[in-house]
A and B are shown apart, each in its own frame.
Chain A
Amino acid sequence: MKAADLTTAVVLFLLGSVVLVDALRLGIGWGTDGPKSGFFPFWLAVVMMAACVVIATQAVRGATGAAFVTREQAAPVLKVLAPAVALVVAMQFVGLYVASALYIALYMRWIGRHPWWQVVTLAVGIPLVTFIIFERWFLVPMPKGPLETWLGF
């Protein structure tokens, strides 16, 4: 927990310093018509960096032994995160509907070991319902791929 707390504080401190540098570029003082663009971000960055330093000190001093994640906890988290990333990558190529169908199918089969009839029903059914609700009823377009083009949408 301590290491994670410290790392987060350091990352946020670095984020603050990036903001600080950009604010200085924009100017933090008084312009022709009021405060310059960098004025507000500058003070945000300064306070944030200061707060991060204190949080980091607290983290170093207060030693809590508990781990941020145990091995048993990390596995299921990664099992959710990794396929989700794969889903988003796949969306760029085959569109949201096909990617979702593949994702739901793979997840149900791989993690849940559900019978094939359930897998096929839901993997086809859920993207189809989404399609009808968003594209047909509410006219909100989703990313589409070769399949939809082939079907004429």
Chain B
Amino acid sequence: MGFEDLLLGFHVAITPYNLMVAVLGIALGTVIGVLPGLGGANGVAILLPLTFTMPPTSAIILLTSIYWGALFGGAITSVLFNIPGEPWSVATTFDGYPLARQGQGGQALTAAFTSSCVGAFFSIVLITFFAPVLAEIALKFGPPEFFAIQLLTFSSFVGLGGGNPLKSVVSILVGFILAAVGLDIVTGQLRMTFGSTELMKGFDFIVAVIGLFGIGEILLTVEEGLRFQGAQTGMKLRVVLDTWKILPRYWRTFVRGSFIGFWMGFKPGGATPASFMSYAFAKRFSRHPERFGKGELEGIVAPETAAHAAGVAAMLPMITLGIPGSPTAAVMLGGLIIWGLQPGPMLFKENPEFVWGLIASMYTGNIIGVVMVLAFVPFFAAILRIPFAILTPVIVVVCAVGAYAVHSAMIDIWYMLLFGVVGYVFKKLDYPLAPLVLALVLGDLAENALRQSLIMSQGSLAIFFTRPIAAAITAVAIFFFVLPVVTPWWRSRRGGAPAPRSV
């Protein structure tokens, strides 16, 4: 880790062109985050084709800025409309919406944005120091270690995801199976194509993301009946400054939320549990726990800090190991491959200006983001007042454009619709979608890592237990896989009543 590296990064990130790209990305991202049916993952997926002609560093800055913007946008809808744009903004609605109803919307939003920025900053600083170290270690990894990490990635969905662990398993497997469709690059054989030339191309995860999260989400939204009851807000500079005077009081909550967020965040699916955990801790340690849920500012600070710390931390495994921690990071990883970069530890050696430009842009992007959302909240909130009969067709058209643009293939638009219906059904039946997407992205990588490991060991699975690093990671993965089985048994043994599922 060298300070010069970061300086080099700022040198890249602060060029006028890249700053403009960041501003554009944050504006687009916030709009995407506010709109129902468009979130970080599919917003990034739809706009990915637009980056094909850009320099890779500017392209990743655009995509990450969209991501930051979408995170901020989610806070706006949670506080003003009681609609969590993303699962990790659910906890923000608990106290955000009551505050907005009491006419304190400006205060609530200022707290939310500031906490997001603090949480994100904490994670970025940690990434700055840890990413090069982790990449250095990862350079020594062989196929068994990489497969063990994949195993850990998916085991954390099963063990920590909540809900029915079997449904998480099925989601993962559906993703892997879809990833296996098409040409097997190792043996050159066609798999599961059944003589169809369309199936030979396989399923692109970007199309899946647009369908599952875009179309599927729209179907869910209309089902719930679209009646937005928005609280009005006027964002005045005085409100912002007054809130900033109060916020330092909650420094403990900031620190706790940041740590929880970072710790949970670099494991997949971590942002949502992190936000709830941080909220629960803040409530437990508060001197006025009874105020939570009725409009307590600390109840916004806690989940927002953790969610953004986790959202940023999800980038750490992506840039160091080439394994994304969230669907959005997965789409960015897909972008890296399309731009001709090899994700993983070699990035730090071969494309330092890309990696450090990206890290530096996280600093600049979050500062620009906070200023922009604070300044334009009324504008972004107005988007939700656009009548539904206009929003729906426009979002569907935008999704179709994004799906087609990936490969210029008509069949992809049909797949998008199909994935939309699958997403709707899965969501209603509590099959988690994020593991499906990650499995679809990582399918080939995971399979190749497994095959190469088995070739190294002449077909013995013992290789995952005899190499020290692989063994340690595999052990943790197995622990997570059996956690849902062990927990109920352990509880009944201790004779306690089954605890409610920690949401």
Interface residue ranges, A against B (CB under 8 Å): 1, 4-5, 8, 12, 15-16, 18-19, 22, 26, 30-31, 33-41, 44-45, 47-48, 51-52, 54-55, 58, 68-69, 73, 76-77, 79-81, 83-85, 87-88, 91-92, 96, 100, 103-104, 107-108, 111-114, 118, 122, 126-127, 130, 133-134, 138-143
List B contacts of A22 (CB < 8 A).
191-192, 194
Q: Is B167 located at the chain interface by the 8 A CB criterion?
A: yes
How many residue pairs link A and B with beta carbons under 8 A? The number is 170
Cα separation A114 to B393 with both chains bound (whole Å) = 13
List A contacts of B174 (CB < 8 A).
12, 15, 48
Q: Which of B90-98, B324-332, B409-417 forms contacts with chain A?
A: B409-417
> Shortest 9 CB-CB distances between A and B: which pairs?
A112-B389, A107-B393, A48-B173, A76-B222, A34-B455, A73-B223, A104-B393, A37-B189, A100-B397
List B contacts of A87 (CB < 8 A).
396-397, 400
Q: Is A122 a contact of B169 with CB atoms below 8 Å?
A: no
Q: Is A84 a contact of B166 with CB atoms below 8 Å?
A: no
Q: Is B286 located at the chain interface by the 8 A CB criterion?
A: no
Interface residue ranges, B against A (CB under 8 Å): 49-50, 52-53, 164, 166-167, 169-170, 173-174, 176-177, 180, 184, 186-187, 189, 191-192, 194, 215, 218-219, 222-225, 387-390, 392-394, 396-397, 400-401, 404-405, 408, 410, 413-414, 417, 420-421, 424-426, 428-429, 431, 447, 450-452, 454-455, 459
Not counting A40-B451, A48-B177, A58-B166, a sample of 11 additional A-B residue pairs whose C-beta atoms are within 8 angstroms of each other reads A4-B425, A15-B174, A26-B191, A40-B176, A47-B169, A55-B170, A68-B428, A69-B223, A77-B222, A96-B401, A126-B397
List A contacts of B389 (CB < 8 A).
107-108, 111-114
| Contact among B166, B225, B405, B451 with A51 in the assembled complex (CB-CB below 8 Å) | B166
Cα separation A122 to B394 with both chains bound (whole Å) = 9
Q: Is A91 a contact of B400 with CB atoms below 8 Å?
A: yes
List B contacts of A31 (CB < 8 A).
187
Q: Is B222 a contact of A79 with CB atoms below 8 Å?
A: yes
Q: Is A8 a contact of B410 with CB atoms below 8 Å?
A: no
Q: Is A91 a contact of B410 with CB atoms below 8 Å?
A: yes
Q: Is B393 a contact of A8 with CB atoms below 8 Å?
A: no
Q: Is A91 a contact of B454 with CB atoms below 8 Å?
A: no
| Contact among B166, B187, B400 with A37 in the assembled complex (CB-CB below 8 Å) | B187
| Contact among B177, B219, B387 with A44 in the assembled complex (CB-CB below 8 Å) | B177
List B contacts of A44 (CB < 8 A).
173, 176-177, 180
| Contact among B170, B218, B401, B404 with A80 in the assembled complex (CB-CB below 8 Å) | B218
Cα separation A36 to B447 with both chains bound (whole Å) = 12
List B contacts of A15 (CB < 8 A).
174, 177
Q: Is B192 a contact of A19 with CB atoms below 8 Å?
A: yes
| Contact among A16, A34, A48, A85 with B186 in the assembled complex (CB-CB below 8 Å) | A34
B17 shortest CB reach to chain A, Å: 15
Q: Is B192 a contact of A114 with CB atoms below 8 Å?
A: no
List B contacts of A40 (CB < 8 A).
176, 180, 447, 450-451
What is the chain B residue whose CB lies nearest that of A83? B393
A114 shortest CB reach to chain B, Å: 6
B440 shortest CB reach to chain A, Å: 12
* Contact A37-B414, Cβ < 8 Å, known A47-B169, A48-B174, A76-B225: no
List B contacts of A91 (CB < 8 A).
400, 410, 413
| Contact among B169, B184, B393, B404 with A96 in the assembled complex (CB-CB below 8 Å) | B404
Cα separation A47 to B392 with both chains bound (whole Å) = 38
Q: Is A48 a contact of B170 with CB atoms below 8 Å?
A: yes
Q: Is B459 a contact of A30 with CB atoms below 8 Å?
A: yes
A129 shortest CB reach to chain B, Å: 10
Cα separation A18 to B177 with both chains bound (whole Å) = 11
List B contacts of A108 (CB < 8 A).
389-390, 393
Q: Is A143 a contact of B405 with CB atoms below 8 Å?
A: no
| Contact among B180, B187, B394 with A36 in the assembled complex (CB-CB below 8 Å) | B187
Cα separation A100 to B392 with both chains bound (whole Å) = 12
Cα separation A131 to B478 with both chains bound (whole Å) = 51
